[in-house]
Structure 1
Amino acid sequence: MVEDQKFYLGVDGGGTGCRACLCDADGVPLSFAKAGSANIMSSLDVARDSILQCCSEAVEQIGLPAEKLSQIPVYMGLAGAEYEALNTKLKQRLPFENIIVETDARISLEGAVGSGDGAAAIIGTGSIYQYRYNGVEKTTGGWGFMVGDLSGGAWLGRELLQETLLVYDGIHAGSPLTQAVLDQFGNNPQKIVEFAQGASPASFGTFAPMVFDFADKGDSFGVRLVHKAVANIEETLDRILPDATSPFCMIGGLGAIYAQRLGDDYKKHLIAAKGDALSGAVSLAIQSFNGRIL
């Protein structure tokens, strides 16, 4: 019977969405589910609700009764989980008997390179770098777009809105990109400020596609901003990689977009990720609760 089998849950939760995979004891995926944001820095309650929603749906899909949910071991990789106080509060608000909460960067690296050495630049709404060499795993970045997360989508959006206000004030020369932003806000700078005051990182990140689109058309500010973003990534890679020939992955929602813009010296050592963050969460669930390396 289904109820008698061993099951494990892997969860990948970020600023733009939460995904869950229910697998068997061999790590074979049985069901998948999605829900909303699960960034515990942005909102602990929203994250909890998203996690419960997608985990419950994954369990329901294979016909397990709802009361079995709390008995399934779960390994989560969540944005904001590096903050221990939030991590602890989340665990207290979830029903799971066996739960491990790690950062989304941790499961991303596992999905990208497996259990061996390697590095991953994870660029999406935010940015963070996770790497493991000689069995020692470290993290760089991930401080939030207000003071960090350089080159992430939210950072791009914030930089664009800031430049647009400088253009409006006549301090900087404008470009089609900054004019497009002004048009979007009815040429009213107060609306930009009102948006910024209440906007989430994901909301700021909605401007990222516009930046790349205009940059590809030669927009002066778009080109400068993308160049600055790429330079941030290359500078960080220079610091975290053991040497100039070390391979690395570019993952996350903007990873592939930035990968094609890196300098040739970096592209030569760029490798494809083995899997995604959710597959990393599943792998770590099996390792942690079943003692097996997939």
Structure 2
Amino acid sequence: GLAGVMNERDASRIAAAFPYRHTAVTDDRPTALNGALGGKDGFLLSVGTGTIAAARTDGVFRSVGGWGFHVGDQASGSWIGREGLRNVLLCHDGFFAHSYLTRALLAKFNDDPNEIVAFSMSAKPGDYGAFAPDVVESARANDPVGQKIIRAGADHLQQCLTALRFKAGDALCLTGGVGPHYACFLPPETTSGLCERRGDALDGAFNFALTQLGKSTEVRT
């Protein structure tokens, strides 16, 4: 379950690098879903530095998004942090009124918007993600800018679920450093089937390995 495995060619190349007789390689979405739901049907929104939206229905795996920070990963911690800084600059330019959040974020750059620009020249997703807790906490405190950002993220996650044909009452697991914080910003009908995760991506990978092993030999303990 490796992030960045985008096709069968990538999977085959990585599998060939291992010394094992049988190696199955996927990207990180199937393992995250399998681990969170314990191999059962349901939906997963795993939102950390990046974003994974995936579903298993009648044993069939589907996913949307997860295309990386530069062209996707909306609602993720990195996206939240970048949106926070983007709004700081908009407020500085007078497009919107400053809020407690934007002033607090600007203070981290010595109240100099040019330092934000300099930061952005080399910032990686995780660097932007470091500001996500400030935005999340401000949204919980009803800061208007924080609320705008988190509600936009929640709207995107709802669109992901709609694309995956989610229905009210379906099992839904919110994981990652940011995912659970979206629970109170999603519609009640979406969270009516909210459930705790049963495991992590490593558990999902082991479950897949056991399934593959069971197809070829008897499992002995």
- Shorter-chain TM-score: what band? 0.7 to 0.9
Q: Report Cα offsets for 1:56-82 as digits up to 9, x if no partner.
A: xxxxxxxxxxxxxxxxxxxxx122222
Q: Report Cα offsets for 1:170-208 as digits up to 9, x if no partner.
A: 222211111111111112222212212211111111111
The CA deviation at 1:285 is 1.9
Amino acid at match of 2:211: Q
Q: 2:194 aligns with which of 249, 259, 270?
A: 270
Output the TM-score relative to the length of structure 1: 0.67
Amino acid at match of 1:238: T
Q: 2:88 aligns with which of 152, 164, 178?
A: 164
The CA deviation at 1:222 is 0.6
Give the stretch that moved more between structures: 258-267 or 271-280.
258-267
Q: Report Cα offsets for 1:114-133 as digits up to 9, x if no partner.
A: 33322211111111211121
Q: Secondary structure at the match of 1:131?
A: strand
Tell whether 2:118 aligns with 1:194. Answer: yes
Tell me: CA distance 1:214–1:274, structure 2 relative to 1, closer, same or farther (3 Å). Answer: same
Contact residue 119 and residue 241 of structure 1 kept, 8 A: no
Task: Specify which structure has the higher proportion of strand.
Answer: 1
Q: Secondary structure at the match of 2:167?
A: coil
The CA deviation at 1:210 is 0.5
Tell whether 2:51 aligns with 1:107. Answer: no
Q: Secondary structure at the match of 1:119?
A: strand
The CA deviation at 1:101 is 2.5
Q: Secondary structure at the match of 1:138?
A: strand
Amino acid at match of 2:89: L
Give the stretch that moved more between structures: 235-244 or 279-288.
235-244
Uncovered stretches (5+) of structure 1, i.e. residues with no partner: 1-76
Contact residue 43 and residue 166 of structure 2 kept, 8 A: no
Output the TM-score relative to the length of structure 2: 0.87
Distance 2:113 2:39 in 1: 49
Q: Secondary structure at the match of 1:99?
A: coil
Partner of 2:68: 144
Matches within 5 A, 1:1-294: 77-82=1-6, 87=11, 90=14, 94-97=17-20, 98-291=22-215
Distance 1:85 1:201 in 2: 26
Q: Secondary structure at the match of 2:25?
A: strand
Contact residue 64 and residue 163 of structure 2 kept, 8 A: no
* RMSD, matched Cα: 2.2
| Count of residues in Structure 1 that have an aligned counterpart in Structure 2 | 216
Amino acid at match of 1:155: W
Tell me: CA distance 1:163–1:96, structure 2 relative to 1, closer, same or farther (3 Å). Answer: farther
Larger RCO, structures 1/2 (Cα 8 Å, 6+ apart): 2
The CA deviation at 1:85 is 5.9
Identity of aligned residues (%): 35
Uncovered stretches (5+) of structure 2, i.e. residues with no partner: none
